[in-house]
Amino acid sequence: MNAEDLGEKIVKVLKTIYDPEIPVDIYELGLIYDVFVNEDNNVKVIMTLTTPNCPVADSLPKEVEDKVKSLSEVTDAKVELTFEPPWNRDLMSDEAKLELGFL
């Protein structure tokens, strides 16, 4: 499986993870900034949280890491949390904005 196909599979997994306070998956919320897959199928996910003191600051990155690692093609996965740029509603997909009544 090439990196692009694996990247798409990773996005599908990320879309199964929901922010517990908002009924929208973390990908559509815009919490995932980037996904890198190297030639050894090691994955690095750069993500943020809706706020630095988010109640799931410990558990959500771990859930992302565990779910990505659960894909048989993935050798290893690491999640890097960043708050640059800070998350805001503009990062949400139109689908998420519609779901939450912002459109």
* Mean local confidence (pLDDT), 60-64: 96
What is the mean predicted confidence (pLDDT) over 26-55? 94
Give the global pTM.
0.92
DSSP 12-81: HHHTT-B-TTSSSBTTTTT-EEEEEE-TT-EEEEEE--SSTT-TTTTHHHHHHHHHHHTSTT-SEEEEEE
Average pLDDT over every residue of 13-35: 94
Confidence of residue 73 (pLDDT cuts 50, 70, 90): very high
Ordered structural domains, the chain, with CATH: 3-89 (3.30.300.130)
Mean pLDDT of 10-35: 94
